[in-house]
């Protein structure tokens, strides 16, 4: 690891100003991506700004749904997750599990216990690894990413493999979304890394809007799948998902699986995601 | 409870291992030690036109930057191959030069061209990055078949066409004739995938040159410290043997990869002399992928002939073995004498012929890895047997039963003479335990759930305790393959066993004490094992090829024979009895049929006080022995694997794995089971998860655990491990060896099971979900056509 300077930020604003102060500074959240990258000498930030202890960036809040015209059986609460909330905290939040079990289940299957106890949702989406799980969830849930300077919709936030709409000096504070009426996540892990070879997140909002996103498979990161969305909009069922002919264009081929295999997995994982929803 | 032969004595070494108190090479800290960081080639093949280390040398804390020209200029010898293989035409192998630091050409990614010695690891790494090497890239070839093709890049001048040797074994004409007149022919292309060894502890070395005594000490991660000292001294000219002490402290796994003497150890020793500092190097995981000798990598074509009664009449095998960019220590023996000599399998086959081409490529050197040649042989044989059964439409178990060797000794056409075994008994034990009869019912039940069930056999045989020395010498080995032992009985009766074997996870500190406890009736806590230090143990050949039991323990037995003889003389003298009436039991020397006895410690005291020992007898109680076996030993067994495949994803789950092994005498069943469990996990790893992948430019695409898949606990089933043993007639304890069998026997069982499930025999290792899914697609396409 190259030499670096460690700072402990007192709050989000302090983190943003420390970050803005040096062009080669980086936020350190759980360190589960950044530290290994530094150990491999692939990253050499001059300054590390640790946000892991900042209270305002941690925790899950669930705001009851406002009374709407039609009373739906489930969903509609506003869920906010602090950027520095660990995967473990998300996975084990009982209220969140009741409101949106798809996201607690997703968090429970990220990495291993050590990773889950350190890694954070903010770090995961800021990094936007093309095989990470959270980007699929936030995109399908139509989430909003709240930063130290603005709110960004998930559709605008994820701009391609390892890239996001974040500007220099901008720190993610939290993410929020409306609890879906139904949602599910189907993940097929890469045997070696156990990141997603293909992960499909399906979500149906309380208004009946269906969004389907795919991680792991795209050659430019997480994306929404129009074919699956329209099939599930007209018929929300495993069979309907399985019936979609998923093409291999634009999909990733690597030593773990080619585009045709990933295309097959998208169909299978979509079906299983709906089954679990 | 007895702690002798057959007892499940808990491992003595585990107290320090599981409390984090093991002492490994990287734990050794010398005063004023410096650190080495290697400057490694990012190219798989290139000319080195120059090295500019000026920036590095200018950095604070950098002691020196050394290169290959300086190394060879100081007379450090090229790295040797310890086994000369002769080609069909009688010519010796074409071996290219391998310098510990490359001089003019680099031949694989990771090949070291220079080393930085600095005050800290960080400075050394930073300085190494600042060394500018002027490379002129050359064309690259990574596969053995491609390397043999016309026009392939030439890797070593003196190996035209990249061919190191073209070797053969067996009876060619009779085999051809037998195949020509065979009723049935089975023919297959078989690939044995390339593996990275991945011991948990990475390689490490710390070398200290003591100028005032003109003496060197090397701590290193070695499976065979004495061989390391011999080679470092005799061939690399580091120092004469009496001026070089090699210590291998606790070693955290090796699987073969720590047999060899690598460039880094040589360089640390030399650099210690150059800089007058202790020089330490510890590999990181990436360096391990880039530089630890890989295993396997065979491309094979095999043809088997059977008569109308389904008796095998002949087997012909051609193998192209990828040996990487340089010849590692046993790289020539592994795909020849350790491989093709096992191609008769458990079967009585009159005609076997094999030829093997050893090939240079721009990849990491390939050498022995757990099983070393025998996994490759059993994979060929057992894939062929299963395929033959499918082609003939007969039960694979019955086809094997029909062809088993049933009488011993049995001379195969490929050198090996099997001394013992009962292959049918192992097969029956495994079939009963696996409920083979009930399989079709289970298959039908799985089908109802949309899953594909399959079952596969592997009836492996292997050869351990490579020997005898004269025979291996005549086949090209540069060393003898005996083992030494010394039994030291202290004046208080406690015992130290010095052995030339060296444990790197096998539990020698436990099992070796058990045979002493058995012999003298002492508790194992009174016995300790000394190994891994050339200043303490006079000589030894180390631990590999499952030899420590059959060869290493046999040497201890021989030394104990001598101790026993002396003890009886002392006992007879002191107890005033005839030597013939003396017996040793329960920790005492007794006169048969009387109540006269001396306790064991009294004998020790008598020997060392020498107040009352037979006239003319030397005082003391310490004996040593060298043991040179008369033959290999032949562990064998039957493995049955049952799998279930999810046709939607290709995910394969091993439902049941049954192993019935014949290891001869078993000293500690718990340790033996552990060895089998580990071996099975490794074999399942090869079959379903592991594989080194190179791109055409010679870059490893699988050089981290993000991409190289090691089997994890949830990937492997609960094993059913059992034994059905015949005693080995070749050594005093009747032992055969158990360290590699699991890795040797399991891959074909897994692949036979998966191919049975999916109805497509065309499936390479590793059978990952994507590979299995692709094979399923191919099968359904073929069915549609
Ligand atoms: C063994 C292992 C297995 C894993 N498996 C999976 C898996 O299966 N699925 C999966 O999705 N992930 C997996 N991960 C990644 C894990 O989820 C990480 O926790 C996550 O990618 C990064 O989160 P972090 O909090 O550790 O971020 P860090 O490593 O601290 O930071 C990552 C990047 O995000 C930036 N950053 C962090 N927080 C903020 C913020 N609030 N605002 C702006 N920028 C920020 C950092 O500057 C850095 O560039 C795995 C990691 C490991 C080590």
Q: Are B580 and B515 in contact (CB under 8 A)?
A: no
Are residues B773 and A261, on separate chains, in Cβ contact within 8 Å?
A: yes
CA distance B240 to B243: 5
CA nearest A272 in B: which residue?
A: B648
Q: What is the pLDDT of residue B160?
A: 97
CA distance B159 to B81: 15
CA nearest A265 in B: which residue?
A: B649
Q: Would the CB of A110 count as within 6 Å of ligand 1?
A: yes
Are residues A264 and B707, on separate chains, in Cβ contact within 8 Å?
A: no
Q: Would the CB of A75 count as within 6 Å of ligand 1?
A: no
Which residue among A195, A258, A268 places its CB closest to the CB of B648? Answer: A268
Q: What is the pLDDT of residue A275?
A: 98
CA distance A142 to A154: 6
Q: Characterize the bridge pairing of strands B527-530 and B452-461.
A: unpaired
CA distance B246 to B226: 7
Distances (CA, A) of B550 to B631, B657, B770: 10, 27, 42
CA distance B238 to B282: 20
Q: Would the CB of A135 count as within 6 Å of ligand 1?
A: no
Question: To test the ligand 1 pocket, which listed residue (A12, A19, A32) has its Cβ within 8 A of the most ligand atoms?
Answer: A32
CA nearest B691 in A: which residue?
A: A255
Which residue among B125, B286, B770 places its CB closest to the CB of A256? Answer: B770
Distinct helix (H) and strand (E) counts, chain A: 12, 14
Chain A residues with CB inside 8 Å of B707's CB? Answer: 192-193, 255-256
Q: Are B232 and B238 in contact (CB under 8 A)?
A: yes
The DSSP string of B189-242 is EEEEEEE----SSPPEEEEEEETTTTEEEEEE--S-HHHHHHHHHHTT-SS-GG
| Residues 6+ positions from B3 with CB-CB distance below 8 Å | B9, B513, B514, B517, B523, B524
- Ligand 1 atom 1, closest CA: A111
Question: To test the ligand 1 pocket, which listed residue (A9, A23, A29) has its Cβ within 8 A of the most ligand atoms?
Answer: A29
H or E element in which residue B39 lies: strand B33-40
Measured in degrees and rounded to the nearest 5, phi and psi for residue B738 equal: -135, 0
Cis ω for the linkage preceding B766 (within 30 of 0)? yes
Q: Are B117 and B129 in contact (CB under 8 A)?
A: no
CA distance A218 to chain B (A): 17
B208: number of Cβ within 10 Å = 24
DSSP summary character for residue B315: E
CA distance B770 to A260: 10
CA distance B133 to B202: 27
State whether residue B644 is helix, strand or coil. strand
CA distance B63 to B57: 8
Give chain B's residues under pLDDT 70. Answer: 1
Cis ω for the linkage preceding A68 (within 30 of 0)? no
- Ligand 1 atom 34, closest CA: A123
The DSSP string of B588-641 is EEEETTSS-EEEHHHHHHHHHH-SS--TTPPSS-EEEEEE--SS-B--EEEEEE
Q: Characterize the bridge pairing of strands A25-28 and A47-50.
A: parallel
CA distance B664 to A208: 69
Q: Characterize the bridge pairing of strands B527-530 and B495-499.
A: parallel
Burial class (CB in 10 A: 0-12, 13-18, 19+), B585: exposed
Q: Would the CB of A49 count as within 6 Å of ligand 1?
A: no
The DSSP string of A251-272 is B--BTTB-HHHHHHHHHHHHHH
B488: number of Cβ within 10 Å = 18
CA distance B285 to chain A (A): 10
CA distance A108 to A199: 14
Measured from the Cα of A84, ligand 1's closest atom is 41
State whether residue B35 is helix, strand or coil. strand
Helices B263-275 and B225-234 cross at an angle (nearest 10°) of 60
Per-state percent for chain A, helix, strand, coil, to nearest 5: 35, 25, 40
Measured in Å, residue A145 CA sits from the centre of ligand 1 at 16
Measured in Å, residue A30 CA sits from the centre of ligand 1 at 6
CA distance B39 to chain A (A): 15
Q: How many CA atoms lie within 13 A of B235 on its CB side?
A: 20
Give chain A's residues under pLDDT 50. Answer: none
Domains of chain A: 5-50 (3.30.43.10), 62-276 (3.30.465.10)
Chain A interface residues (partner B, CB cutoff 8 A): 1-3, 40-41, 188, 191-193, 195, 255-258, 261, 264-265, 268
CA distance A174 to A147: 7
Q: For B248-297, how does the pLDDT look when each residue is reduced to its tens digit (9 = 90+)?
A: 999 999 999 999 999 999 999 999 999 999 999 999 999 999 999 999 99
A2: number of Cβ within 10 Å = 14
Which residue among A188, A255, A258 places its CB closest to the CB of B707? Answer: A255
Distances (CA, A) of B339 to B232, B328, B344: 28, 17, 10
Q: Are B676 and B659 in contact (CB under 8 A)?
A: yes
What is the layout of strands, in order, in the sheet containing B527-530?
B527-530, B495-499, B483-489, B622-627
Are residues A257 and B769, on separate chains, in Cβ contact within 8 Å?
A: yes
Which residue among A40, A255, A268 places its CB closest to the CB of B649? Answer: A268
Q: Are A21 and A62 in contact (CB under 8 A)?
A: no
Burial class (CB in 10 A: 0-12, 13-18, 19+), B240: exposed
pTM summary value: 0.97
Q: Are B165 and B93 in contact (CB under 8 A)?
A: yes
Q: Would the CB of A117 count as within 6 Å of ligand 1?
A: no
Domains of chain B: 15-138+200-253+258-291 (3.90.1170.50), 295-466+631-784 (3.30.365.10), 482-627 (3.30.365.10)
Q: Would the CB of A143 count as within 6 Å of ligand 1?
A: no
H or E element in which residue A16 lies: helix A12-21
* Interchain CB contacts (distance < 8 Å): A and B: 45
Q: Are B230 and B290 in contact (CB under 8 A)?
A: no
Per-state percent for chain B, helix, strand, coil, to nearest 5: 30, 25, 40
Q: What is the pLDDT of residue A67?
A: 63
CA distance B185 to B554: 44
Q: Would the CB of A132 count as within 6 Å of ligand 1?
A: yes
Q: Would the CB of A85 count as within 6 Å of ligand 1?
A: no
| Residues 6+ positions from A187 with CB-CB distance below 8 Å | A106, A109, A133, A196, A198, A199, A269
- Ligand 1 atom 14, closest CA: A111
Measured in degrees and rounded to the nearest 5, phi and psi for residue B23 equal: -120, 105
Q: Would the CB of A59 count as within 6 Å of ligand 1?
A: no
Measured in Å, residue A120 CA sits from the centre of ligand 1 at 6
Closest CA to A89 of A125, A59, A46: A59
Helices B374-392 and B741-758 cross at an angle (nearest 10°) of 30
Please report the beta strands in chain A, taking only residues with DSSP state E, as ranges in sequence order.
Answer: 5-8, 25-28, 47-50, 60-63, 78-82, 144-147, 151-153, 158-160, 163-164, 172-178, 182-189, 196-204, 210-215, 223-224
Burial class (CB in 10 A: 0-12, 13-18, 19+), B161: middle
Are residues A261 and B701, on separate chains, in Cβ contact within 8 Å?
A: no
Q: Would the CB of A26 count as within 6 Å of ligand 1?
A: yes
CA distance B172 to B316: 8
CA distance A231 to chain B (A): 20
- What is the torsional sign of CA B440, B443, B447, B452? negative
CA distance A65 to A50: 34
Chain B residues with CB inside 8 Å of A265's CB? Answer: 649
């Amino acid at each position: 690891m190259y030499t670096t300077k460690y700072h402990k930020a007192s709050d989000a604003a302090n983190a943003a100003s420390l970050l803005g102060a040096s062009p080669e500074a980086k936020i350190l959240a759980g360190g589960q991506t950044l530290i290994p990258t530094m150990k491999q000498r692939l990253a050499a930030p001059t300054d590390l700004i640790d946000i892991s202890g900042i209270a305002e960036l941690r925790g899950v809040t669930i705001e009851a749904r406002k009374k709407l015209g039609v009373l739906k059986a489930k969903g509609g609460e506003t869920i906010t997750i602090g950027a520095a909330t660990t995967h473990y905290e998300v996975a084990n939040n009982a209220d969140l599990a009741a409101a949106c079990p798809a996201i607690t289940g997703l968090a429970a299957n990220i990495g291993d216990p050590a990773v889950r106890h350190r890694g954070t949702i903010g770090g995961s989406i800021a990094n936007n690894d093309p095989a990470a799980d959270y980007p699929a969830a936030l995109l399908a849930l139509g989430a909003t990413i709240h930063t130290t300077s603005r709110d960004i919709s998930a559709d605008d936030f994820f701009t391609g493999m390892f890239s996001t709409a974040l500007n220099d000096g901008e720190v993610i504070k939290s993410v929020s979304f409306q609890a879906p009426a139904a949602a599910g996540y189907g993940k097929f892990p890469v045997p070696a890394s156990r990141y997603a070879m293909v992960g499909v997140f399906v979500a149906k909002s309380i208004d009946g809007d269906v969004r389907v996103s795919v991680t792991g498979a795209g050659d430019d990161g997480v994306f929404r799948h129009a074919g699956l969305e329209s099939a599930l909009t007209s018929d929300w069922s495993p069979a309907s998902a399985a019936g979609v002919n998923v093409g291999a264009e634009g999909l990733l081929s690597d030593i773990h699986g080619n585009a045709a295999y990933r295309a097959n997995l998208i169909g299978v994982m979509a079906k299983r995601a709906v089954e679990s929803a | 409870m007895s702690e002798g032969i057959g007892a499940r004595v808990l491992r003595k070494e585990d107290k320090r291992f599981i409390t984090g108190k093991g002492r490994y090479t990287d734990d050794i800290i010398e005063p004023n030690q410096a650190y080495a960081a290697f400057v490694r080639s990012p190219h798989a093949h290139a000319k080195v036109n120059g090295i500019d280390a000026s920036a590095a040398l200018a950095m604070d804390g950098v002691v020196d930057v050394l290169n290959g020209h300086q190394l060879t200029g100081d007379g450090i010898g090229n790295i040797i191959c310890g086994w000369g293989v002769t080609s069909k035409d009688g010519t010796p192998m074409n071996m290219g030069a391998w310098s510990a630091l490359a001089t003019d050409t680099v031949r694989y990614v990771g090949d070291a061209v220079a080393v930085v010695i600095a005050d800290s690891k960080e400075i050394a790494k930073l300085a190494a990055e600042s060394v500018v090497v002027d490379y002129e890239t050359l064309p690259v070839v990574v596969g053995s078949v491609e390397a043999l093709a016309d026009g392939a890049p030439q890797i070593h001048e003196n190996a035209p066409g990249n061919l190191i040797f073209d070797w053969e074994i067996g009876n060619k004409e009779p085999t051809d004739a037998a195949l020509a007149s065979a009723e049935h022919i089975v023919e297959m292309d078989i690939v044995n995938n390339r593996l990275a060894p991945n011991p948990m502890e990475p390689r490490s070395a710390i070398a200290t040159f003591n100028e005032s005594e003109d003496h060197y000490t090397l701590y290193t991660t070695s499976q065979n410290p004495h061989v390391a000292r011999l080679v470092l001294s005799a061939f690399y000219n580091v120092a004469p043997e009496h001026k070089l002490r090699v210590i291998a402290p606790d070693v955290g796994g090796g699987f073969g990869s720590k047999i060899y003497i690598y460039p880094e150890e040589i360089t640390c020793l030399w650099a210690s002399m150059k800089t007058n500092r202790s020089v330490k190097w510890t590999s990181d995981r990436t360096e391990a992928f880039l530089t630890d000798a890989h295993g396997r990598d065979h491309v094979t074509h095999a043809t088997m002939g059977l008569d109308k009664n389904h008796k095998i009449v002949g087997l012909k095998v051609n193998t192209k073995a990828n040996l990487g960019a340089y010849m590692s220590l046993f790289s020539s023996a592994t795909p020849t004498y350790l491989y093709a000599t096992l191609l008769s399998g458990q079967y009585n086959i009159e005609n076997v012929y094999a030829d093997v081409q050893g090939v240079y490529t721009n990849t990491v050197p390939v050498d022995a890895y757990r099983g070393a040649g025998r996994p490759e042989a059993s994979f060929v044989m057992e894939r062929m047997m299963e395929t033959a059964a499918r082609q003939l439409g007969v039960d694979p178990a019955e086809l094997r039963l029909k062809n088993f060797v049933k009488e011993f000794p049995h001379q195969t056409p490929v050198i090996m003479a099997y001394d013992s075994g009962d292959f049918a008994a192992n097969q029956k034990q495994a079939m009963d335990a696996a409920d083979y009869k009930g399989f079709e019912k289970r298959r039908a039940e799985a089908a109802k759930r949309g899953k594909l069930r399959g079952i596969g056999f592997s009836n492996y045989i292997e050869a351990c305790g490579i020997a005898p020395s004269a025979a291996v010498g005549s086949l090209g080995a540069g060393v003898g393959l005996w083992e030494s032992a010394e039994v030291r009985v202290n004046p208080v009766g406690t015992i130290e066993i010095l052995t030339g074997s060296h444990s790197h996870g096998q539990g020698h500190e436990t099992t070796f004490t058990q045979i002493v406890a058995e012999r003298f009736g002492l508790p194992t806590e009174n016995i300790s094992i000394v190994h891994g230090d050339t200043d303490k143990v006079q000589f030894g050949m180390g631990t590999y090829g499952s030899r420590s039991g059959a060869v290493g323990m046999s040497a201890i037995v021989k030394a104990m024979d001598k101790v026993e003889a002396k003890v009886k003389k002392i006992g007879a003298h002191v107890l005033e009895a005839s030597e013939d009436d003396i017996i040793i039991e329960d920790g005492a020397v007794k006169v048969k049929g009387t109540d006269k006895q001396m306790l064991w410690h009294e004998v020790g005291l008598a020997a060392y006080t020498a107040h009352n020992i037979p006239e003319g007898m030397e005082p003391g109680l310490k004996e040593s022995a060298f043991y040179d076996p008369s033959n290999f030993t032949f562990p064998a067994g039957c493995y049955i694997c049952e799998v279930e495949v999810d046709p939607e994803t290709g995910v394969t789950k091993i439902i049941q794995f049954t192993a019935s092994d014949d290891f001869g005498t078993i000293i500690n069943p718990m340790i033996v089971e552990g060895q089998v469990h580990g071996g099975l996990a490794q074999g399942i790893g090869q079959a379903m998860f592991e594989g080194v992948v190179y791109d055409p430019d010679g870059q490893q695409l699988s050089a981290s655990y993000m991409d190289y898949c090691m089997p994890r606990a949830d990937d492997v089933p609960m094993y059913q491990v059992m034994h059905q043993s015949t005693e080995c007639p070749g050594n005093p304890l009747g032992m055969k060896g158990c360290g590699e069998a699991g890795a040797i026997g399991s891959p074909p069982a897994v692949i036979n099971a998966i191919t049975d499930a999916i109805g497509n025999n065309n499936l390479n290792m590793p059978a990952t979900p994507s590979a299995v899914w692709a094979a399923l697609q191919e099968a359904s396409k073929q069915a549609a056509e």
